[in-house]
Structure 1
C-alpha cells in the first residue's frame, strides 16, 4: 500500500463498535427511581467479613470491593480473573477520551459492563428499572463529548410492553444511539417468538440499530452464573471459565443469528438493523453458508415457508458483524459476507481486549483491501448504520 493510501486510511473515520464503560454497582442505587432502590443491586456484608453484591435476595459472586471503587482490580474474590488490572484512565470521561485519542478512534459505541446482566433478569420490572438507571448514568457520562461517545441502551425483554416504553424513552428523551440485547432466550421464548415482535417493531419504527452483544454468566464451580443460568453448555461444562466463555460468546451469537434470520424476524421487519458484537466476525460467513445450503434444499426450505430470501441476503440487507481488532480477515470475506457488512470493535477495557494497539491492529489488518473497503470497515459502515451520514 502506498504512503498516500496509507495516510488516507489513517485519516478515515474510525468507529469502535463495542467499547465498554466500567460502571460501578453503586450507580444502580444512585440513578434508580427511589421506590426501586430496595429491589436493585446492593452491597451485603457476610459473616466471614467479606462482602458481596446482591440483587433482591440473591447474593452473587461479585466482590463488594466493586461497589463504589471503579479501580477495584478484583471483580471476584476468587482467582478467575486474577490479575485483572483495569485501566484507571478509562473510568472518567476525560480519561476515556484520552484512550480513544491514543488509538486514533473518532467515535465509540459505549457498551455497558455490569449492566449487561440487567437484560437477563427474569423479573422484567426490576430488570427494566436497572436498565433505566444505567441509561441515566451513561447519558451523563457521554455528555462530555456527545458526538464521540454514543451509548447504546440495554433492554430487558422479559416484560415486553415495559421494554417498548423504556426503549422509546431512551431514544426520544435520552437521545441514545440505539439498543442492546443479549442473544439469550427470553425465559422460554426464542428471539423469534412473535411475543417479542412489539420491540423489534419499535426499533424499526425509531430507525435505530440493535446491538446483539454476548454475555458470559461467569459460572461458579457448579456452572451457575451470578445473573443468568441459561447459557448454552453451562451445565455441561460446569465451572470451566475457558469452556463457558467460548460457548457463551460465539455459539450464543450463532443461535441468535439463526433466530433472527431463519426464525423470520428480519423477514417480518425488513428495515430492522442488527450489529453482532463481542464474538468476533470470522464465524459469520461460514454460518451463513450453512444456512444458505439448507435453504437451497427444497426439502429443508419447506420448513421455513416465510423466508423469501436466502439467509445470507437478509444479513447483507440488514446486518453488520464487528470483528475483533486483531482478528484475521483471511477467508472471512466472500460471497456471503462483503466489506459492506463488516465493522470492528476493541472490547476495551476488558481482560481479553487488545489495549493498547487496537487502532493500529485493525488498520494493519485492513491495509491489503481497497481504500474504499478500508473506509467502510474502519467507520463508514457504522456511520451508515447509525444514520450519522
Structure 2
C-alpha cells in the first residue's frame, strides 16, 4: 500500500510498503573503535596517534561495555535495527575522534598543533564513516564533522565528505558562552551555509553539543540536563536572525534529539520579537528602535515562515503529547528517531515506542513521520527501502494498537511514567 499524505506541504509523498511502514531512524550514532581510526589518519599523524592512544582513558562507560561494538559492527547493526523494524538510519557520531579528550568538539585545544591534530582526527572519522555507510548501501546517511575555528578548512571538508558519498550533511557544533568563537549568527560562517545549500545537504545541530562546561557537582549535572536542550535550540534563532536562510533559500536546518513539543511556543515567541523589533524601527524616538535596525532586511521572512520553508526536527523517541502537536510543528517537518545504540533510545522496543507515540493516528501521517520525511530530507531511495520494509517493517495494524504498558526493562523516556507532560 502506498500512502499519500494530503497534509504534507507541496504534495511530498510519504510511503509504506504493502501493509508495513518504512521506518527510517533520523537519529542513530556510530563511530570506529579507537585504534581502528589509525588507517584513516594521514601517515604523518601515526606516531602522534600511537602516543595519544597509549595513554588515553575513555570516559564513557557505554564505549567500554560488551555492547560497544554496536557503534562499528555493521552486520550487528543491520540485524538489530531490522529486528527493531528499522530499515535505514541517519548516523551521527558517537565514539571519540583521534586526539580529542572527549566526544565534544568544543573541548579546548590551546595550541595550533592540537587544532591541526583534531582536524586530522575529524577527517579520519569522516573517512571511516564513508566506508561504514558504504557497507550498507542506501541504508545509512552519514553525518560528518567539522570544527568552526577555521571556516575555510571546514568548507573544504564539507566538499570532500559529500564527494565521498556522505549524504547526512554536516554536524555543526554550538558556540556556547566562553567558547571564544563567534556566535552562530555571525557572518563569519556564511561560507558554511553557502556550501551546504549549494550541495543540498542539511546542517544538523544535535542536542548536547552547545552547552557550556558546568562542572561535576550534583547540582551542575542536574542543571546541565535542564539547560542542554535550550542551549541547542539557540542555533535556530541564531541562524534565523542572522539571515542565513534569506541569503541561502535552499539551506536546510535539522534540530535533532531536542524534543519537538517546544517548537510551537518558541516560534510564537520568535514571531513576537521579530514583529515587535521590526515595528520599532519606525519609532526612532524610542530606545527599542535600535534593536530592530536592519533586522527585516537581514532576515527577509519571519521566523514561522523560515521554519515552514527551511527547518526540520529529528524527533527522537517521540512521545504522545508531541504527536498531538504535529500539525502545529508541521507534519512534513517531523522525523522519528530511535537514538540507537544509546540507553535512552528505544532499541530493542522501537515497535512499542512507535505504538506509544502514534497509535490511533492516520496511517499516512504516521508514514510521513517515521520514514517519508527523513527520506526526503536525507535523500533515501524509498523504492529500495520499501522492499526491505515489506520483510521487517512494523505493520500498520500493529502500530495502530495502543500500548497498554511499557515493556519490562525499557529505558527510553518515551515509556517513562508521566513523560507525556514534558515539552522540553
Checking the alignment, whether the CA contact within 8 Å between 2:105 and 2:147 is kept in structure 1 is yes
1:94 and 2:75 correspond: yes
Q: How many Å separate the matches in 2 of 1:331 and 1:31? A: 45
Secondary structure in structure 1 of the residue aligned to 2:312:
strand
Q: Within 5 Å, give how 1:1-389 maps onto structure 2.
A: 11-39=20-48, 42-45=52-55, 52-53=56-57, 62=59, 72-73=64-65, 86=67, 91-115=72-96, 117=103, 119-120=105-106, 122=109, 124-185=115-176, 187-215=180-208, 231-232=211-212, 234=214, 240-248=220-228, 250-297=229-276, 298-299=279-280, 302-303=292-293, 304-305=295-296, 306-328=298-320, 329=322, 332-335=325-328, 337-388=329-380
Offset of residue 370 of structure 1:
2.7
Change (3 A) 1:104 1:315: same
**1:109 Cα deviation after fit:** 0.7
For structure 1, the 5+ residue unaligned runs are 1-6, 46-51, 54-60, 74-84, 217-229
> What RMSD, in angstroms, separates the aligned Cα atoms of the two structures?
3.0
Shift of 1:355: 1.9
Q: CA deviation at 1:142?
A: 2.3
Q: Contact 2:336–2:369 (CA<8 Å) still a contact in 1?
A: yes
Shift of the 209–9 alpha-carbon distance from structure 1 to 2, 3 Å rule, reads: farther
- Map Cα deviations across residues 249-281 of structure 1 (whole Å, 9 max, x no partner): x11221111111122222221111111112222
Q: Secondary structure at the match of 1:37?
A: helix
Contact 1:181 1:212 (C-alpha < 8 Å) held by counterparts: yes
Whole-angstrom distance in 2 between the partners of 1:184 and 1:356: 34
Tell me, in whole angstroms, the C-alpha distance in 1 between the residues paired with 2:208 and 2:19. Answer: 32
Which deviates the most, 203-212 or 234-243? Answer: 234-243
Contact 2:358 2:366 in 1 (8 A): yes
Residues 71 and 162 of structure 1, relative CA distance in 2, 3 Å threshold: closer
The CA deviation at 1:238 is 7.3
Alpha-carbon contact 2:141-2:166 (below 8 Å) kept:
no
When normalised by structure 2's length, the TM-score is 0.72
Structure-2 separation of matches of 1:194 and 1:29: 35
- CA distance in structure 2 between the aligned counterparts of 1:10 and 1:111, rounded to whole angstroms: 30
Distance 1:10 1:191, change over 3 A: farther
Name the CA distance, whole Å, in 2 between partners of 1:369 and 1:9: 18
The alpha-carbon deviation at position 12 of structure 1 amounts to 2.7
**Which has the larger helix fraction?**
2
Q: Deviations over 1:255-313 (max 9, x none)?
A: 11111112222222111111111222222222112111212322378242322222021
Paired residues, number:
341
User: Aligned pair in 2 of structure 1 residues 268, 286: CA closer, same or farther (>3 Å)?
Assistant: same
Larger Rg: 2
Corresponding residue SS for 2:144: strand
Specify every segment of 5 or more residues in structure 2 that has no aligned partner in the other structure, as ranges: 1-15, 98-102, 281-287, 382-424
Cα contact 2:24–2:374 (8 A) shared by 1? yes
Q: Tell me the distance in 2 between the aligned counterparts of 1:350 and 1:125.
A: 30
Distance 1:40 1:245 in 2: 33
Is the contact made by 1:115 and 1:154 (CA closer than 8 Å) also made in structure 2? Answer: no
SS at match of 1:312: helix
Corresponding residue SS for 2:339? coil
| SS of corresponding position for 1:351 | coil
The Cα shift of 1:364 comes to: 4.1
* Contact 1:210–1:273 (CA under 8 A) maintained in structure 2: yes
Instruction: Give the SS at the match of 2:245.
Output: helix
